[in-house]
Amino acid sequence: MTNTPITPDGRGSRIGEPEYDRLLAEVAEWVRGPGEAWAERIERTDAVPAELFAELKALGYLSMAAPVQLGGRGLSFDQWMGLMEIFSRSHASIRMLVHVLNGTWRAINPHVTDIQRERFVIPMIAGELLVAFTLTEPGNGTGADLTTTVRREGDTYYLNGRKHLITFGVHCDYWLLFARLEGTSGKDGVVGLLVDRDAAGVTVEDTSNTMGVHGTDHASLTFVDTPVPVAQRLGEEGDGLKIALGGFLTPSRISVAMSCVGLAERAQELAIEYATGRVTFGKPISSRQAIAFMIAENEADIQAAKQLTLHAAREWERGAPEAPALSSMAKLTAVDMLTRVTDKALQIHGGIGYWKTSAIERVYRDARAQRFEEGTNEIQKTVIARAVLSGAAGKAAR
């Protein structure tokens, strides 16, 4: 363990390299063995079994990224990225579980009271509470233009509005929800709340019928005067976007970028396996220049995206002001890379890759979800452009 002070969002925590190497090997073995068996069951039933969640919890895979002081394994963020890379070679719903459970606490912990930490954060890290990040709305963007509102009456907020595309929104315990105080505009009026899944005045629509990422539930939510205790507000009124964007989305975008790397590596693995085993005119198709060049392009693409993602992870961990823009760069680059890699991997398989009996078919479907998870490519470009242009303006002013 390092002697560096550990921040409330986990920066400064780290485990020794021998322990980390053993953990990498353990997770890789699980992904290829039990993880693949679970993947087949998820695809067959279109549901994530409760037994899988229990197994991930028992193995400690839902609490790896949190500091030991909070009940976690104590991995640094860049160490956690190495584990995300491996988990992402598995089924997308398995990756989604470990991604969300190992990340949501990070946004909350810097803003909670000691009582809230005991009530929410520590049980989240232990895998006893599932909290769904609840920002996106159907009628507007995902930032300062939120239209879901709260009004305060004494010790209670009353929540009104709609949210959609909420991962784990059906079966969670709480929604980590962002809304604005009635009568406010802009970022300063946004609050972060932990809303009980069973609160009154909520309509939950299960919208889980997706192209890929089978088994993970998604919800559309409608709130009509839903009561939320003021004691379940995170931080102060006006802290909402700071919690949502800096506390959750910046590290989460880096994590999604690494999940793209891991899934691309799985696609490349399947492509190489098929290309070396498929024989035409007496030779494996891997000996054909067209196929070999696709594999070479994929490998270069994967490595470039991986290194940018690791750079973003390390910059976020040290608190660099460029980290938010770098997280968007990593996510944008990795998503585009994954699109190219999975398309070539499917092409290498030829027609057989289009059948559900081929592993590459599931990888190809799951890859498409990454293009909008934690913000579309267009959102990432907006974040990057704003950072670059404001930086250029600042330099010009000096």
Do 119 and 32 lie in one domain? The reply is yes
CB-CB contact of 325 with 384 (8 Å): yes
Do 253 and 156 lie in one domain? The reply is no
CB-CB contact of 162 with 220 (8 Å): yes
3-state SS class at 46: coil
Do 110 and 146 lie in one domain? The reply is no
Rounded to whole angstroms, how far apart are CA atoms 145 and 186?
7
Q: Is the pLDDT of residue 25 over 70?
A: yes
Average pLDDT estimate for 305-325: 95
CA distances for 371 relative to 190, 253, 337, angstroms: 26, 11, 11
CB-CB contact of 271 with 349 (8 Å): yes
Do 305 and 245 lie in one domain? The reply is yes
Average pLDDT estimate for 144-163: 94
Do 229 and 264 lie in one domain? The reply is no
Q: Is the pLDDT of residue 157 over 80?
A: yes
Do 279 and 338 lie in one domain? The reply is yes
Assigned domain for 8 exists: no
Assigned domain for 171 exists: yes
Do 259 and 117 lie in one domain? The reply is no
Do 212 and 259 lie in one domain? The reply is no
Q: How many CA atoms lie within 13 A of 351 on its CB side?
A: 0
- Give how many domains the chain has, as a whole number: 3
User: Where in the sequence is the domain holding 299, given as residue range(s)?
Assistant: 241-397
Structure tokens at 383: 């974040």
Do 107 and 147 lie in one domain? The reply is no
Which of 182, 208, 238 is the endpoint of a domain? 238
CB-CB contact of 132 with 174 (8 Å): yes
Which of 75, 109, 125 is the endpoint of a domain? 125
Q: Is the pLDDT of residue 2 over 60?
A: no
How confident is residue 99, by pLDDT bands cut at 50, 70 and 90? Answer: very high
How confident is residue 34, by pLDDT bands cut at 50, 70 and 90? Answer: very high
Torsions phi, psi of 97, nearest 5?
A: -60, -50
Report, in angstroms and rounded to the nearest whole number, the Rg of the chain calculated over CA atoms. 22
pLDDT at residue 186 in the model: 79
Average pLDDT estimate for 17-33: 97
How confident is residue 139, by pLDDT bands cut at 50, 70 and 90? Answer: confident
Alpha-carbon 134 to chain mean position:
13
**Among 73, 70, 49, CA closest to 62:** 73
Average pLDDT estimate for 45-66: 94
Do 22 and 118 lie in one domain? The reply is yes
3-state SS class at 89: coil
Give me the torsion for CA of 93, 96, 98, 101, rounded to 10°.
Answer: -130
pLDDT at residue 392 in the model: 60
Known catalytic residues are 374
pLDDT at residue 3 in the model: 58
pLDDT at residue 69 in the model: 94
Assigned domain for 5 exists: no
Average pLDDT estimate for 356-364: 94
Assigned domain for 1 exists: no
Find the CATH number of the domain harbouring 105.
Answer: 1.10.540.10
How confident is residue 142, by pLDDT bands cut at 50, 70 and 90? Answer: low
Assigned domain for 233 exists: yes
3-state SS class at 102: coil
How confident is residue 396, by pLDDT bands cut at 50, 70 and 90? Answer: very low
Which of 187, 217, 238 is the endpoint of a domain? 238
Mean pLDDT of the chain: 93
Average pLDDT estimate for 254-258: 97
Assigned domain for 212 exists: yes
Q: pTM (2 decimals)? A: 0.92
Assigned domain for 11 exists: no
Assigned domain for 151 exists: yes
Q: What percent of the chain has pLDDT above 70?
A: 97
How confident is residue 398, by pLDDT bands cut at 50, 70 and 90? Answer: very low
pLDDT tens-place string over residues 231-254: 999 999 999 999 988 788 899 999
Do 262 and 186 lie in one domain? The reply is no
Do 250 and 230 lie in one domain? The reply is no
Find the CATH number of the domain harbouring 345.
Answer: 1.20.140.10
Q: Which helix (H) or strand (E) is 306 found in, with range?
A: helix 289-317
CB-CB contact of 359 with 270 (8 Å): yes
Average pLDDT estimate for 272-278: 97
